[in-house]
């Protein structure tokens, strides 16, 4: 089955720095990945997704990189702001499944 | 437009009681998911509805858990004879139907925080 996990439980950065949150997955058949942001007391909020036919996708201040060779993806946040403080989850799906598997999350703490 | 709405936002009940949690998905979203999130944990899949197809119930942890979706819109998750280990945040998400095999991202509600005394 799919196993999705994150390398670090907590990441602390200074306001204005770039943040990189990493995620590894185990199923080489995984072909769809999503990043979510979850603030305290709220549901996860969709940030960006990427399909396996791509290795990079950019959004507003965010970039997701996918390395299928080592089964790794990362979320890069440019010019991190205090409002970016939250738990970030990666999720992956494979084999045509419409049910993503979620990792445990990385807590991003942005210091002003 | 309106997002996914869940009610109640908080529910405290005694062990052994039954509870019903409600989810109103985004209008036009045919796919609906229920997840459970325990403190500091990731999301545990419970059940998935897609249009008029039979739901995928593979994530339901026991036969005390059930869910239905009426009219392809509102969904209710029911937990019978609640146990303390059922305490968690129950999240609902909806998405557009995939087309041509292209999956769509899920949009989540803010969840129901369930506490079993």
Q: pLDDT by residue (tens digit) across A53-111?
A: 999 999 999 999 999 999 999 999 999 999 999 999 999 888 667 788 888 889 999 99
Q: What percentage of chain B's residues is helix, strand, coil (to nearest 5)?
A: 5, 50, 50
**What is the residue-averaged pLDDT of chain A?**
89
Number of H helices, E strands in chain B: 0, 10
The residue with tokens 């095999």 is B101
Instruction: Name the domain count of chain B.
Output: 1
* Residue B15, pLDDT score: 97
CATH code where residue A26 lies: 2.60.40.10
Each residue of B98-110: b (16+ CB within 10 Å) or e?
eeeeebbbbbbbb
Which residues, in sequence order, are CB contacts of B65 under 8 Å at separation 6+? B46, B77, B78, B79, B80
Residue B113 lies in a domain: no
* Residue A103, pLDDT score: 83
Count of residues making up chain B: 117
Residue A8: which domain range? 4-111
Residues of B in contact with A36 (CB under 8 A): 108
**What is the residue-averaged pLDDT of chain B?**
91
Interface of B with A (CB under 8 A): 4, 31, 33, 35, 40-43, 45, 48, 50, 56, 59, 91, 93, 95, 98, 101, 103, 105-111
- Is 90 exceeded by the pLDDT of residue A2? no
Instruction: Name the domain count of chain A.
Output: 1
The encoded tokens of residue B70 equal 């009426």
Residues of B in contact with A45 (CB under 8 A): 108
Confidence of residue A1 (pLDDT cuts 50, 70, 90): very low
State whether residue B81 is helix, strand or coil.
coil
Residue B84 lies in a domain: yes
- Is 50 exceeded by the pLDDT of residue A31? yes
Q: pLDDT by residue (tens digit) across B65-81?
A: 999 998 879 999 999 99
* Residue A4, pLDDT score: 62
The residue with tokens 């403080």 is A85
CATH code where residue B91 lies: 2.60.40.10
Nearest to A104 among B42, B101, B105 (CB): B42
Mean pLDDT across B37-41:
82
Mean pLDDT across B90-96:
94
* Residue B45, pLDDT score: 94
Is any Cβ of chain B less than 8 angstroms from the Cβ of A53? no
* Residue B42, pLDDT score: 82
Residue B93: which domain range? 5-97
Q: What is the DSSP secondary structure assignment for residue B116, as one 8-state letter?
A: E
- Is 80 exceeded by the pLDDT of residue B103? no
């Amino acid at each position: 089955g799919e196993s999705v996990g994150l390398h670090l439980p907590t990441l602390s950065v200074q306001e204005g720095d770039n943040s990189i949150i990493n995620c590894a997955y185990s199923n080489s058949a995984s072909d769809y990945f999503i990043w979510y942001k979850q603030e305290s007391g709220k549901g996860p909020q969709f940030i960006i997704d990427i399909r396996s036919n791509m290795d990079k996708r950019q959004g507003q201040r965010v970039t997701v990189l996918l390395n299928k060779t080592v089964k790794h993806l990362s979320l890069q946040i440019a010019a991190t702001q205090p409002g970016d403080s939250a738990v970030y989850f990666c999720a992956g799906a494979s084999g045509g499944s419409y049910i993503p598997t979620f990792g445990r999350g990385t807590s991003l703490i942005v210091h002003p | 437009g309106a997002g996914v709405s869940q009610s109640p936002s908080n529910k405290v009940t005694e062990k052994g009681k039954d509870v019903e949690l409600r989810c109103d998905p985004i209008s036009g979203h045919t796919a609906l998911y229920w997840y459970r999130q325990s403190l500091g944990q990731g999301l545990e899949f419970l059940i998935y509805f897609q249009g008029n197809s039979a739901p995928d119930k593979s994530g339901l942890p026991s036969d005390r858990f059930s869910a239905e979706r009426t009219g392809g819109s509102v969904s209710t998750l029911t937990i019978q004879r609640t146990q303390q280990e059922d305490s968690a945040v129950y999240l609902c998400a909806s998405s557009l139907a995939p087309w041509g095999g292209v999956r769509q991202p899920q949009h989540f509600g803010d969840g129901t925080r369930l506490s079993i005394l």
